Amino acid sequence: MLNQPLLTFAVEPLEQGDGFLLNVSPSDGSGVRSYTIEGPDPAAFEAFFDRLHEDFGTRRPHHLDPIEGYAAPPWRPLITDNLSTRILSGYGDPAVMRCVDGWWLVATSNDAPDAFPILHSEDLERWEPRGFVFEEGTTPGWTAAGQKVGDFWAPEIARVGDEFWLSYTARAADRTLSIGLARAAHPAGPWVDNGEPLLTGTVIDSHVHVDASGTPWLLWKKDSNSHWPRPLAGLLRENPDLIPILFDNEGDRRTAAFCAAIQPFANTRRPMERFFLMQPLIRAALANWREVRTTLEKSGIAAHVVENMATPIYAQQLSADGRSLVGERHLLLANDLDWEGHLIEGPYLTYRDGRYFLFYAGNDFTSPSYGIGYAVADTITGPYRKAAEPLLKSHPDWSAPGHASVSVGKEGEPRLFFHAYHPGTGGYNVFRALLTVGLSFSGEEVRLVP
């Protein structure tokens, strides 16, 4: 089967209301197949790729990888369904902080009209919605806002002096992913934004850490992984002979060939639609990540693709007023372990027993391959020493645990708070639950406890 001629595609896209029609012509002469993508929602793209899979054996973007059955971690679900009709996709990228009046939670809202839900709990059992950081119509002027337009991701709260600072990701008016910062006298708000982005240039997942001297630091991820799928598809469009070299599975070869054909159209779509159209190619590459990356490095024609297959996490001091970055920028981590795949993200730094523990997420957030890892250093700027395997990974009970924050439980014990999907689900704007697990620190090792 692997010696058969490469099946390629020609794609004719036609706008159709809120969605579009794709006329797909395979090179085997079997005739044109027409597919309607009803709109810009992820479910519409998933339905399309399901049909394409049935017709041509390509990958689904939301395929259900088998999840290994093993002894369940001592994690505990806290919020497993929506507590407000204004919270549209749950509690992804949760930031939890304990204050004198209980626990406060802020979470990702994606393109919902109200940005960043705020919730409160007095006992870690019952949670009450307490509004939003930016209600509809009050998002900062520098951000792109509104359904199918905005992307408000990964808010993080830190106590800095007498204020609370909230750093977050949003798209600027030019659609560039940027990091903003708002401040309030209390986690419930009202929150007042700086009025301009703190950092721009395809950056996400910020985290403010205050060191022992009271100096605030900003950690963030360069979102390089959003820059390689479409260029890779374009490279394969120009060099189709690379496809059978990179992919030894016939379904992945067909996936790569289709994504190469759709790439010019994907370039014209809004950022999240580009991701949806390239997601099967991402999954195909991740299935054989080390070989794909090594082969591209050796090809001599893919330097621009390979460069963006590394996703660095940086740290830099913040000014005392939280309005600028000062001093030297430090590279803390990049993806270099097999389980991390094409990215690491969601950094959260905590100081314990004379060491800095940096928790992070790795791999594809829509996939059961996603998990939480950690690294340890003696200083904020490193060098960091990674644990070889993820601390938390998918289980048949909960899928794709990720993007953690560290706070304390009822007895003051350290706890990890993170999101996960209900089994059999996953994807952008799909509900993510809030879970927690206890942490035990021993030397450079982190253990999970109830």
Tell me the pLDDT tens digit for each residue of 413-446. Answer: 999 999 999 998 999 999 999 999 999 999 999 9
Return d(Cα 224, Cα 433) in angstroms, integer. 27
Look over the chain and give the mean of its residue pLDDT values, rounded to a whole number. Answer: 96
In a domain, residue 29? The reply is yes
Nearest CA to 33 out of 11, 18, 49 is that of 11
Residue 282 DSSP label: H
For residue 64, what pLDDT is reported?
A: 66
Q: Check if the beta carbon of residue 64 is closer than 8 Å to that of residue 424.
A: yes
Q: What is the mean pLDDT of residues 9-29?
A: 93
Q: Check if the beta carbon of residue 73 is closer than 8 Å to that of residue 437.
A: yes
In this structure, are 61 and 145 located in the same domain?
A: no
Percent of the chain with pLDDT over 70: 99
In a domain, residue 71? The reply is no
In this structure, are 120 and 192 located in the same domain?
A: yes
In a domain, residue 3? The reply is no
* Number of folded domains that form the chain: 2
Residue 446 DSSP label: E
In this structure, are 54 and 88 located in the same domain?
A: no
Query: pLDDT band at residue 63, thresholds of 50, 70 and 90?
Result: low
Return d(Cα 139, Cα 229) in angstroms, integer. 30
For residue 1, what pLDDT is reported?
A: 45
Strands 95-99 vs 76-79: parallel, antiparallel or unpaired: unpaired
In this structure, are 297 and 320 located in the same domain?
A: no
Which position has the token pair 């289980």?
395
- State yes or no: pLDDT of 219 exceeds 70: yes
In this structure, are 163 and 241 located in the same domain?
A: no
pTM for the whole structure: 0.96
**Which range of residues forms the domain containing residue 287?**
9-65+226-307
| Number of CB atoms found within 10 A of residue 330's CB | 16
Q: What is the mean pLDDT of residues 404-420?
A: 97
Return d(Cα 318, Cα 216) in angstroms, integer. 5
What is the maximal distance between C-alpha atoms in the chain?
A: 69
- State yes or no: pLDDT of 2 exceeds 60: no
- State yes or no: pLDDT of 107 exceeds 60: yes
In a domain, residue 320? The reply is yes
Return d(Cα 242, Cα 424) in angstroms, integer. 33
In this structure, are 265 and 316 located in the same domain?
A: no
Residue at which a domain ends, from 286, 307, 328? 307
Percent of the chain with pLDDT over 90: 93
pLDDT in tens, 116-165: 999 999 999 999 999 999 999 999 999 999 988 999 999 999 999 999 99
Query: pLDDT band at residue 4, thresholds of 50, 70 and 90?
Result: confident
| Number of CB atoms found within 10 A of residue 35's CB | 16
CATH number of domain containing 177: 2.115.10.20
In this structure, are 287 and 356 located in the same domain?
A: no
Residue at which a domain ends, from 307, 336, 367? 307
Virtual CA dihedral for 74, 77, 78, 81, nearest 10 degrees? 170
Residue at which a domain ends, from 307, 335, 356? 307
In this structure, are 32 and 159 located in the same domain?
A: no
418-434 burial: b if 16+ Cβ within 10 Å, else e = bbbbbeeebbbbbbbbb
Return d(Cα 116, Cα 22) in angstroms, integer. 35
In a domain, residue 247? The reply is yes
pLDDT in tens, 290-327: 999 999 999 999 999 999 999 999 999 999 999 999 99
Residue 112 DSSP label: -
Residue 173 DSSP label: T
In this structure, are 334 and 443 located in the same domain?
A: yes
In this structure, are 137 and 279 located in the same domain?
A: no
In this structure, are 340 and 283 located in the same domain?
A: no
Run of H or E residues at 134 = strand 128-134
In a domain, residue 2? The reply is no
In a domain, residue 141? The reply is yes
Which position has the token pair 């969601």?
346
In a domain, residue 4? The reply is no
Going across the sheet that includes 128-134, the strands are 95-99, 102-106, 115-121, 128-134
The three-state (H, E, C) secondary structure of 200-221, written as one string:
CCCEEEEEEEECCCCCEEEEEE
In this structure, are 27 and 147 located in the same domain?
A: no
